[in-house]
Amino acid sequence: MANFKIKKGFDVKVIGKPKTTVEEYTSQQLFAVYPSEFEGLKPRLKVKAGDTVKRGDVLFENKKNEKMVFRSPCCGSIKAVNLGARRFPVEILIERAAEEKSITFETYTRDSVGQLSREQVVDHLLNSGLWPLIKQRPFNKIADPDADPKAVFINAANSAPFQADFSVVLKGDEEAFQVGINALAKLTAGKVHLCKSVGSDIPDFGNAESHTFAGKHPSGNTSVHINRISPILPGDTVYTITAQDVVLIGKLLTTGELPRTKIIALAGPAVKEEFRQYYKVQIGASLEELLNKSLEGDEVRVINGNVLWGEKVSADTCVPFYGSEFFALEEDRSRHLMGWTMPGLFQYSSHRVNLSSVMGLGHEWKLGTNMHGSHRAMVVTGWMDKYQPLNIMTDFLIRAALAHDTDEMIQLGILETDPEDFALASFVDPHKTDVCGIIKRGLNEIEEEGI
């Protein structure tokens, strides 16, 4: 148990905070699974269009580890398998059948999970298709089942606008969460760390050490938690998982069937006010209907994630495997007359060159996706480190990454990071450098080359 105060950080003040009410949104007919969500995965399809599948049937498996399977979230027929570049299956669409047949797994209780060995837990999770919920650092990829992680980090914190608040998600599922923690505790010889935001009313749980994190964004980022509790050295592995996914694992273990629902937050300035809240949705189910009625604006960008970190998705997306929140904002293609000299009162900024940074940080802004400038050669300003609590020299790390210098990148601490940790660096950079992209490329190079 420890309390951490994160001093460096910045909160992007954007309107659209979700209310903490949860509305049921189930009974959808179209479902989808996105193999492209699993970065680096080479899937081998087990189904084709027209097949009928039971709830829990294997849709595809990992070519590199055939024990790692991915199962169908619903019972019905495969409507289409849409291929992307190089014939990669981007999405598998499933039409739900009226009558449900499903595959069941063994059930456990909070105590009987404790009797299992590590292998049994790993095999059960791999076989049920929920193993990929567990990721590992460095590289933030699907956890290697054979790794020996020094700790497991559960992220129950939130700091970016607007990450789902786990205290809303958890209500009523405390037992499943505890069972999930007990299963995770089997995976490591070290500790399970439960990291919460300060002030959230999440109780403490057995088998896990609770920590609270106070401070502005990125105090809720997993990298910050790891850095403060048990920093990654070259050669170390830690498992990470978000708190809601622990609940899903717990539900699998207690009910013996694949979890049906999860809770997502829908937020952002382009969501109508009455729809800014939490929804209990079926995993894999289409969100088209919900998004259709809740979005407003001419050209809206929907993000699977929050305003700082997440992928653009289409407005007919289905509930993905990862993630607990959606953010919608307007595409802002407006151009401002002589932006280089205007007082800058009406453009959001963290920087004192714009008056809005002094006079406008009190209220929330209706932000759009404008770049507010064009790309220029990178000049070291030191601002990238201004909101970086990870003790990383961002400018030098970027230089090393641009120079493909893997040794230098590792020395400067890239293994402790994930591209999401550089979202604020990208945000403040006046030269509009793609910091996250450069870091991501650097991490990929190290992964290929080996540490």
Partner 1 sequence: MNALFDFMDKTIAPLFEKGGKFERLYPLFEAGDTFNRTPGDVTPSAPHVRDSIDQKRLMIFVIYALIPCILFGIWNAGNQFNLANNVANATFTTDMLRGATMVLPIIFVSYAVGGIWEVLFALVRRHEINEGFLVTGMLFPLVLPPTLPLWQVAIGISFGIVIGKEIFGGVGFNILNPALTARAFLFFAFPAQISGDKVWVGTAKTAFENSPIFGTVAENIDGVTMATPLAVAAAAEKGSDAVTALGDAGFTLANMTIGNIPGCIGSTSVIAILLGMGFLILTGIASWRVMLSGILGCVAMGWLFNVLPLDNPFAALPFVYHIVMGGFLFGIVFMATDPVSAAATNTGKCIYGFLIGVLTVLIRVANPAYPEGAMLAILFMNVMAPLIDHFVVQGHIKKRTAYARALNNA
Q: Which of residues 217-276 bind partner 1 (CB under 8 A)?
A: 229-233, 236
Q: In this structure, are residues 48 and 78 in contact, taking their beta carbons and an 8 Å threshold? A: yes
If one asks whether residue 297 binds partner 1 (CB under 8 A), the answer comes out as: no
If one asks whether residue 5 binds partner 1 (CB under 8 A), the answer comes out as: no
Round to whole Å and give the CA distance between 427 and 434. Answer: 9
Element (H, E) at 163: none
Element (H, E) at 43: strand 43-45
- C-beta closer to partner 1: residue 250 or 305: 305
Tokens of 133: 């919920």
Whose CA is closest to 146, among 191, 207, 187, 189?
A: 187
| Shortest distance (Å) from residue 37 CB to partner 1 | 15
Considering only residues 383 through 402, tell me which ones interact with partner 1, judged by CB under 8 A.
391, 393, 395-396
Residue choice 412, 414, 439, 446 for contact with partner 1 (CB under 8 A)? 412
x-marked contacts with partner 1 along 350-379 as a string, rule CB under 8 A: xxxxx-x----------xxxxxxxxxxxxx
Q: Which stretch binds partner 1 (CB under 8 A): 80-88, 171-179, 282-290, 434-442?
A: 434-442
If one asks whether residue 189 binds partner 1 (CB under 8 A), the answer comes out as: no
Q: How far is CA 278 from CA 29, 166, 274, in A?
A: 21, 11, 11
Q: How far is CA 53 from CA 61, 70, 79, 362, in A?
A: 15, 13, 11, 53
- C-beta closer to partner 1: residue 126 or 264: 264
If one asks whether residue 295 binds partner 1 (CB under 8 A), the answer comes out as: no
If one asks whether residue 314 binds partner 1 (CB under 8 A), the answer comes out as: no
x-marked contacts with partner 1 along 33-52 as a string, rule CB under 8 A: --------------------
Whose CA is closest to 130, among 260, 27, 238?
A: 260
| Shortest distance (Å) from residue 386 CB to partner 1 | 10
DSSP 420: G
| Shortest distance (Å) from residue 358 CB to partner 1 | 10
Round to whole Å and give the CA distance between 273 and 267. Answer: 9
If one asks whether residue 303 binds partner 1 (CB under 8 A), the answer comes out as: yes
